[in-house]
Amino acid sequence: MKAKAEQLPSKQNFSEWYHEIIQKAEIMDVRYPVKGLYVWYPFGFKIRQLVYSKLRELHDRDHDEVYFPALIPETELGKEGQHIKGFEDEVYWVTHGGLDPLDVKLALRPTSETAIYPIFKLWIRSHADLPLKIYQIVNTFRYETKHTRPLIRLREITSFKEAHTAHKNFEEAEEQVKEAIKLYKEFYDFLAIPYMVIRRPEWDKFPGAAYTIAFDTIMPDGKTMQIGTVHNLADNFARTFEIEYEDIDGEHKFVNQTCYGISERCIAALLSIHGDDLGLILPFEVSPIQIVIIPILYKGKEEKVLKASKMVLEKLKEFRVVLDDSEDRPGAKYYKWELKGVPMRIEIGPKEADENSVVVSFRDEKKKFKISMDEINSELVLQWAKEFKDRIKNKAIGWMKEKVRYFEDLNDLADWITKGVGLTHLCKNVDCGMKVEEEVKGNVLGWFEELNWIDAEIDGECIICGGKGKLVAIAKTY
Amino acid sequence: MKAKAEQLPSKQNFSEWYHEIIQKAEIMDVRYPVKGLYVWYPFGFKIRQLVYSKLRELHDRDHDEVYFPALIPETELGKEGQHIKGFEDEVYWVTHGGLDPLDVKLALRPTSETAIYPIFKLWIRSHADLPLKIYQIVNTFRYETKHTRPLIRLREITSFKEAHTAHKNFEEAEEQVKEAIKLYKEFYDFLAIPYMVIRRPEWDKFPGAAYTIAFDTIMPDGKTMQIGTVHNLADNFARTFEIEYEDIDGEHKFVNQTCYGISERCIAALLSIHGDDLGLILPFEVSPIQIVIIPILYKGKEEKVLKASKMVLEKLKEFRVVLDDSEDRPGAKYYKWELKGVPMRIEIGPKEADENSVVVSFRDEKKKFKISMDEINSELVLQWAKEFKDRIKNKAIGWMKEKVRYFEDLNDLADWITKGVGLTHLCKNVDCGMKVEEEVKGNVLGWFEELNWIDAEIDGECIICGGKGKLVAIAKTY
């Protein structure tokens, strides 16, 4: 299971870099014998556990975790007209059990609305049962015919977190949409991943939703990747699946629903946005190994150096620390742990052992500094971890700012979106949206819900019709 | 989502009791519209999380967690002849993606040997890569045509823990089998579930294994349930999937493998074995609610009682405690929390509030006792938790001892196994085994690996041929 110590391609060639790092850093093994299916290596799986623990923690504040079946009968999946139209081309169908054909075909869930909502009908009786907020983390399936890619576009999404909520009315569902956005912001801030919060245009919303708000981030090649979506379903599914409650006044009313999801694309973004030509750069909290201690061994001084190294190991044992006392050269060790994204490195040579000091460096910086061993403690490490995250986050935001430009000219916009995200103003007229997409050969991601790190004016004239427009993002997308 | 306050059927009618408790205690919702597929309620899912956290903790000591795809191409599944024969009747087949038929049919994993071992071939190069020990917790699928039952016999096993290991030779694989048995014993001891460790007969071993050791427990109706299996695969799969390593001497050799699994049947056993006519009885460590505090409210004294209750809540906040200050009568509260299996109950009425005392009782005992509030602390609660577990474990062992009898007469044995487990001596001759099964209309579970709580002689004469026999268990099985 050892990765070979070959040079990574430069991150400038993002597609190659990504392909190589996924395999070499032992995130996923891409050699499974079915297109679009991949194997989580132990190291990758640990990152997944750490990232999804945070996602669980955030949801557990006021959602209950549940599990619904992976198989959905064709009859249920087909009930909501828009919904099935949105998914029918990419559903995997189970048609046989053993050698027998099944009476009713079963879909491998592409998403679980139609598995969950028939049960919501049974769980919800009165206003006292509302709001109902549940989530699950499950594998979902899409028959992708396009080019597949680990964590980004795959046939088994192994780690789909989907939340589903039911409320008394549209306003409360809308409040929940805002809550979900807040939750996702907290999650991506935790991962130091910058995002744009964007309301999708009508033609790109979730099939069956009243509206969709998406989180998009910008990948190293300038294309955007959707890393989370929040849907207000209004009472569309409630009407289809007859999910009613008895209100205080005794009246029977349809619930209003929301659903919101994040897949392992959050990990694709984590790896891609922070990584560099040497490998991964992982925030302290989600790095399987947080600190690596490298003893610099010279003949005759091994014992002293190892003793000092073990003292540091002991001091830091509450963290995920590795003391790399293997026989590799220090250079090979640096290479290995840089590739894996370990945020902090501590080196100890004979000089440091004598001085009772250590040399500290961070994965994102070239510089090293010396510090007395006595000064090292948990608080200091956590302070370093915080500063580390601030640095990589600011770096990512700085880089993304370079990748986002405002345009008033369609041709310039069309040129730019081969490299980054174009901003312009657009009215809500579908024809204007379609015209832009056609002209620039890109996707209207939609209208900004909030600007965060984006410098631009929300209001302006529609680039097509000159009418009243709002700021939109346009990009090539994953 | 409230369960109705109706009486449970007596546990004497185990099948009905089980069906009702699964729904009423909100473990699983059985109303999903496909046979053999069930929905984990929030409460049930919390039990699952607690139980599987322990299973993870035990494996994490020296296994790495991974994730392999749920879809296995027909070509791989079919490679090992015995293996495919064992599963072909119960595999779900994915034949279509969208509207297109697939080139190669995909099986929904019934178990993952054939998904994992082609990758083991890539991961294992030299003796330095061995032993390799991984596990995953995944959903697996079986097209069950028999009567299905939540957690016990289902079409989507939602929580299958499967471990797979590779070793240099048969002896090391055999050592690992012993390690796995130790691990499973620790797990079931933690759940206070008594088990029999039994070597399956040739005709009932895992398809493709050299031999299979199973954990069986006895359910309230006297039938046995297999709650874990450990297989020594020898080099059978290694030869099929060409998993070789280079030994120290440069020679290329096939690895020897083991695999071992536990499904959500561990939870079925937990609920069934400890529960009683009032509902679940959960060990402290895996109970979603460990302590319930019930204030006994009398008019005019509410405030004082609630204040005292909150003090206890504060004192015990490191545990999973609920203060039930709802408007229900105390009796209704008792009923509700007994049904859910909460191990400890603390009652506080006006008298107790005055005396600065509380009334404590445990879910498995009728008796209550008073204790000064000052005496309550974490150590005492943990002591109670330990005693609680010892009691329910001893009770379960006591009950199971009653259900196990030794026989020298086939007819008596045949009568008995409609109520419990029959012991007798049997030689290893397949004909003798087959004859017994036919005569008593039951299953030879196999030969005891160890006796634990069973009182019987290991050696004796084969009940069929009179030759040299060893102790076997015979039973009707789930």
Closest-CA residue of chain B to A129: B1
Per DSSP, chain A holds a count of helices (H) and strands (E) of 14, 24
* pLDDT value, residue A351: 95
CATH code for the domain in which residue B466 is found: 3.30.110.30
Contact call for A95 and B91, based on CB within 8 A? no
Q: Do A267 and A415 lie in a common domain?
A: no
* pLDDT value, residue A375: 95
Find the CB nearest A134 among B42, B46, B76.
B42
Contact call for A76 and B33, based on CB within 8 A? yes
With CA atoms as reference, report the closest residue to B447 among B90, B202, B183, B154.
Answer: B202
Of all residues in chain A, the percent with pLDDT exceeding 70 is 99
Contact call for A38 and B69, based on CB within 8 A? yes
Interface probe, candidates A2, A38, A92, chain B, greatest B C-beta count within 10 A: A92
Q: Do B249 and B148 lie in a common domain?
A: yes
Closest-CA residue of chain A to B97: A92
Q: Do B177 and B79 lie in a common domain?
A: yes
Q: What tens digit of pLDDT does each residue of B109-133 get?
A: 999 999 999 999 999 999 999 999 9
Find the CB nearest B67 among A40, A70, A106.
A40
Closest-CA residue of chain B to A104: B34
DSSP letters for A398-461: HHHHHHEEE-S-HHHHHHHTTTSEEEEEE-S-HHHHHHHHHHHTSEEEEEEEE-TT--S-SEEE
CA distance B240 to B260: 19
Interface confidence, given as ipTM, is: 0.96
- Alpha helical stretches, state H, B70-205: 74-77, 81-87, 113-123, 170-190
Interface probe, candidates B61, B92, B133, chain A, greatest A C-beta count within 10 A: B92
Contact call for B95 and A96, based on CB within 8 A? yes
Q: What tens digit of pLDDT does each residue of B5-28 get?
A: 568 999 999 999 999 999 999 999
Residue A285 is assigned to a structural domain of this protein: no
Chain A CB contacts of B65 below 8 Å = 42, 45-46, 49
Residue B48 is assigned to a structural domain of this protein: yes
Q: Check pLDDT > 50 for residue B202.
A: yes
pLDDT below 70 — which residues of chain A?
A: 1-6
Contact call for A99 and B76, based on CB within 8 A? no
With CA atoms as reference, report the closest residue to B353 among B317, B409, B312, B402.
Answer: B312
Q: Check pLDDT > 50 for residue B4.
A: no
Interface probe, candidates A96, A126, A127, chain B, greatest B C-beta count within 10 A: A96
Residue B224 is assigned to a structural domain of this protein: yes
Distance to chain A for B78, nearest Cα, Å: 13
- Which of B229, B248, B274 is where one domain is finished? B274
Residue A307 is assigned to a structural domain of this protein: yes
Contact call for B69 and A39, based on CB within 8 A? yes
Find the CB nearest B98 among A75, A91, A115.
A91
Distances (CA, A) of B281 to B25, B191, B276, B441: 11, 11, 7, 33
Interface probe, candidates B53, B93, B320, chain A, greatest A C-beta count within 10 A: B93
Q: Could you list the residue range(s) of the whole structural domain that residue A127 is in?
A: 14-274
Q: Do B293 and B270 lie in a common domain?
A: no
* pLDDT value, residue A6: 67
CB contact at 8 A, A263 and A226: no
Q: Do B135 and B52 lie in a common domain?
A: yes
Closest-CA residue of chain A to B48: A66
Q: What tens digit of pLDDT does each residue of A74-120 get?
A: 999 999 888 888 888 999 999 999 989 999 999 999 999 999 999 99
Residue B7 is assigned to a structural domain of this protein: no
Find the CB nearest B122 among A31, A71, A115.
A31
Residue B13 CB contacts under 8 Å (≥ 6 apart), including other chains:
none
Residue B341 is assigned to a structural domain of this protein: yes
Chain B CB contacts of A97 below 8 Å = 90-93, 143, 145
Q: For residue B187, how far is the Cα from the chain centroid?
A: 9
pLDDT band at B86, cuts 50/70/90? confident
- Please give the sequence-ordered ranges of beta strands (E in DSSP) within A3-116, or none if there are none: 28-29, 39-40, 64-65, 71-73, 92-97, 100-108
Q: Do B241 and B133 lie in a common domain?
A: yes
Find the CB nearest B94 among A88, A89, A108.
A108
pLDDT band at B80, cuts 50/70/90? confident
CA distance B225 to B265: 8
CATH code for the domain in which residue B174 is found: 3.30.930.10
pTM over 0.90: yes
CA distance A373 to A380: 12
Tokens 């999937």 identify what position? B241
Closest-CA residue of chain B to A142: B97
Of all residues in chain B, the percent with pLDDT exceeding 70 is 99
CB contact at 8 A, A139 and A150: no
Contact call for A38 and B106, based on CB within 8 A? no
Closest-CA residue of chain A to B143: A97
* pLDDT value, residue B2: 45
Q: Do B268 and B175 lie in a common domain?
A: yes
- Which of A341, A356, A384 is where one domain is finished? A384
Q: What tens digit of pLDDT does each residue of A198-252 get?
A: 999 999 999 999 999 999 999 999 999 999 999 999 999 999 999 999 999 999 9
CB contact at 8 A, A287 and A270: no
Q: Do B129 and B251 lie in a common domain?
A: yes
Q: For residue B410, how far is the Cα from the chain centroid?
A: 31
Distance to chain A for B42, nearest Cα, Å: 5
Name the domain count of chain B. 3
